[in-house]
Structure 1
């Protein structure tokens, strides 16, 4: 399944569900990330995704190990303004969709083609438009 979705040299972005499943060793997400590495596709997450995905049951050593294999993109003023613009354009409210908008802003700035592994195809399609390919996890 993943082979049809990943192109060489692009970027794979994981949202909260993607990172959560990677942390728990979900076979489909582990395979997707593994294939990305084999194809020279960088795997990235928005820094805010860590906040959303980590909970009391997350083992700190496992988290550190998983994050060591990803590029974590910081969210500063520029990214925040881009996320706010995406929210306004999609007609969504910041409180409920703030982290999704930050993830979308990060995804839109990555090396193309970009594949976003997400549990929220509907909202991410509103935020990313047709600039990012979405795959459900």
Structure 2
């Protein structure tokens, strides 16, 4: 089956905290044999001194952390340009969206920031942002 469930920083943080809503998304993705992914750049936002390291390690072992490449960086820059956005405020979201777009099929991004994700993926109807 094609597609992916993509976690932004809040999605990953809530997965680490075992938030029930996010756990239901993760279980549904696994049941449907849909990969659960995030971007390596998201880890920069999630890893901090107060995070439960063991829970983070366990959560990361159950999903794919996609690397950032020059190709993804160019795609992210195009997403920013097409949305009329720029700068560091949107860079991680743009890289996450570029990572999502690299996967075929329908892609769902679990995010606390549906507005920015929606702006960045407006030209890509196969990508859906879901608020968590």
TM interval, shorter chain, is over 0.9
Give unmatched runs, 5+ long, in structure 1: 1-7
Partner residue in 2 for 1:135: 130
What RMSD in Å do the two structures reach over aligned CA positions?
1.1
* CA distance in structure 2 between the aligned counterparts of 1:98 and 1:10, rounded to whole angstroms: 23
* CA distance in structure 1 between the aligned counterparts of 2:86 and 2:2, rounded to whole angstroms: 34
* CA distance in structure 1 between the aligned counterparts of 2:7 and 2:44, rounded to whole angstroms: 13
**1:84–1:94 Cα contact (<8 Å) kept:** no
Change (3 A) 1:29 1:19: same
| Off by >4 Å, runs of 4+ in structure 1 | none
Partner residue in 2 for 1:121: 114
User: What count of residue pairs does the alignment treat as equivalent?
Assistant: 130
Q: Displacement of 1:73 after TM fit?
A: 0.5
Match 2:60 to one of 59, 67, 79: 67
Match 1:23 to one of 16, 26, 29: 16
